[in-house]
Structure formats: C-alpha cells, structure tokens
Amino acid sequence: MAFESINPANGELLATFPAWNATELEQALSQVAAVTPAWAANPLEQRCTLMRKAAQILRNRRDELATLITLEMGKLLTESQAEVEKCALTCDHYADNAPRYIADKLVHSDAGKSYIAHQPLGTILAVMPWNFPLWQVFRFAAPTLVAGNTGVLKHASNVPQCALAIEQVFLEAGFPEGVFRTLMIRASQVKGVIEDTRIHAVTLTGSDSAGRQVAATAGAALKKTVLELGGSDPFIVLEDCNLEETVSQATTSRFLNAGQTCNAAKRFIVVEAIASAFLEKFKAAVDSLQPGDPMESSTTLGPMARNDLRDELNQQVTDSIAQGAAAVTGCTPQKNKGAFYPASILDQVAPGIRAYDEELFGPVAIVIRARDENDALKIANDSRFGLGGSIWTADTERGERLARELQSGCCFVNGMVKSDPRLPFGGIKASGYGRELSWHGMHEFLNIKTIWIK
C-alpha cells in the first residue's frame, strides 16, 4: 500500500509514497535509539543553536512549505504562510527559553543541598493530524528536541509530503541523523511502535476515539501520554458585547482553515436578547465568504481536506436538520470538483440533536439560544468536550468571572481562542489531558528528578 498526496481542491494526485515494511521501520527505530544517548548528552546551548537554525530555515522556505501545505490539505495559502511563521516563532521561543524552563531548581529541605533536575526521557512518539500539518508537529518537536529527547513522527496519511519535509528541515539545520525521524507507517503499525521498548512516551493530537486507543496501549506499557483531542468550543455572546467586532471574530474563528480546527469556535451560545441581531449579521458575514482555489488571494474559504470528511460532515448536518435544527444558510454540498462544503449555519440547535452533542469538524456553525448568562454557561458546560472557549462582553470583570467557571483548558475574553508558545495549551474531559507549549509542554516529557545531598 502507498500513501497518496491528493490536492483536495481538485482531486489531483500529486505524489505517492510506499508504506514502510517491518524491516524499514526497524532500521529507523534502531537508528533513533542509537543516537538518543549522545543527543541527550549534547550541551543544551548546542541544541538551542540548532533549533534557531531550524527557525531560520522555516522562514527562508516559508513560501515553498506553505505551498506544500495548501496543495496537500487545502488550507488557504495565506493561512499556510502564517502556519510556517508560527512554527519558526515556536522554535525560537524554546531556543531562547529552554535554559530557564529546564534549569535545576534549588529547594530548601532537610538536606545540605536538594534540588529538582529536569532530564530527558528518551524517544517520544508523536501521532499527528493533517489540519495543521507543520504546526502540530513543531509545537511538539521544538520543546522535545531542545530538552534532549529524540522524536519519531507518525503523521496523517494524507500529508506525506509535509511529513517528509519536516524531517528535512531538521536535517538541513544540522540536527544529527536519527534525532528526528518521520515514520512512513500505517495506523495499524502504531500499536507496535508504542509497545516498543525504545519508545518512552507518546503524544497524540486527534479524535477522542484515537486518543482512547493510544492511551490504552501506552497505559498497558506504562508509558506517559499527552492527548490533545477534539473540541466543541463555546463562543458565548452576551447582550452587552460589541456586536460588529463579535460577529467579525466569530466568522474568523469558525471558518479559519475551513472550520477544521480543534479549538475553533463551534457552538455559538447567544443570549436571547441579542440572538436575532447577532444571527442576522453573522449570516451576512458567512454568506460573504468566497469559496475557491486556496492558492488564489481572492478565496476566503478553501476545500475540506478530503471527500470522506466532507461527506461525514454533511451527514451530521442532514441528521441535525431532520432532528429539528434550522438551516440558516448553506447546509447543502456543493457540486464543485474537490472536497468543498459551503459555509453553513444551523440555528435552533438543542439537546438530542447531533450538532448539539458532536463535534462538527468543518465549515458549519451552530447557534444555541440561551435565556441569560447563567443559562449560557450551563449550556457551554453541557458538553463532553473541554478544550477552549470564549466570552464576549463589554464588562471584562463579568467575562473573567464566567471564564473561571467555564469547564475548559483555556478561555478567552473578547478574543478568539488560539495557541501561543508562551501559554500552555490542552483540554479536559474528552478533549484530553496534559499540556503542550510554554514550560508545561516541555516538562511533560522530562524526568522531574529530586536530588538530595547530605
């Protein structure tokens, strides 16, 4: 079997890559295991220098890598360029801050000297998705490699060119061969890699069903996991918000990357007093989005990443309408060549409707009407997910109070949810556990060791 790189905008086959057999996988794992001790022993300063070089390569090759992202998974070219820039920023962040993040921490105790040391675990397996094919990997790889771990990547099967390009960036930066390897393997081979004694921990970004499988396998092998899973982030609109700004941010947050973002706003929970006005302006903004070739600057909504994902989304929408949701706009598949789905809004979404209970991973916004702020918060927390959320109000103290009560890994007041290398990112409930980014993400894959000296 082969991995196929297909342009979702037109269905064109771009390239094929053979999947590895058992021998090829064994050779790669052996190579990584052989270089792991020497990489851990490499001075931190040298590891940081190499990561800065990786950042510079990303910037130098921004347009080339962005074009590859867009061709393989359909993201708007401008969004792909921003993704590459963010990867470079994150590489620089860890190169600049790692000495502070992982420095020994002196602790006063009954010892003559006691402190906490932060030491690498070994080789970390990353199982990554296609929706941010570079960013998802670099936000794991930058802190992991700088900390002295090695990394192996099992990327999504529909972005093989991006997967291989990431490995080349590290090699071009001067990282020793084997410090980071892309494994060209099928999903069925992941279980065996997790169980391999040369793998010391696992990080996964993906669906909660995939997270449960990875966690079960890693748990049986007593290996740590970090899971960043699905989300159905609430976007709470209160009656005193700046309506124009709120609608503008709502449109961006939902339809960025054709709605295929874990921490995108998905549930628009609007208090009844402002619901009609919000929906009128929101529909106008959504209807103004221009679908088309993601390489063209005039396009503001690209295709979804694959035809099967578009069809799955449409089934969720169709079922939700049959269960009582109201189609405000869109909600009917386009007949264009490619994996396009129209920018859509569902109103009158209530418990018992698929769109209320499930994550809709595509360009569909759902509107849920609330009586007041207390009802809005209750609805927001009535979800098995808990990744992020946002609150829109002119009263920032009110927003902060509600933010503390929202069941999520992060909450933004008057701003759309985003990830930032300076701040930890991750979820609770079915959105996973553990954190990426900031010093928290670096510490996830370090041995936090107590050293006590009399």
Residues involved in catalysis: 228, 262
Residue 312 buriedness (CB in 10 A; 0-12 / 13-18 / 19+): middle
Q: Which residues contact 114 (CB under 8 A, 6 or more apart)?
A: 106, 107, 108, 450, 451, 452, 453
Q: Indicate the helix (H) or strand (E) that contains 452.
A: strand 446-453
**Dihedrals φ, ψ of 364, to 5°?**
-130, 125
Distance CA 227, CA 204 (A): 5
Distance CA 235, CA 222 (A): 38
Q: Bridge-partner residues for 386, per DSSP?
A: 428
Which parts of 8-132 fold into alpha helices (H)? 22-41, 44-60, 62-73, 77-101
Cβ–Cβ contacts within 10 Å for residue 298, how many?
Answer: 7
**Dihedrals φ, ψ of 350, to 5°?**
-140, 165
**Dihedrals φ, ψ of 203, to 5°?**
-125, 140
b/e string for 18-35 if b means 16 or more Cβ within 10 A?
ebbeeeebeebbebbbeb
Distance CA 298, CA 92 (A): 32
259: left (phi over 0), alpha (psi -120 to 50) or beta: left
Length of the chain: 454
Distance CA 132, CA 144 (A): 18
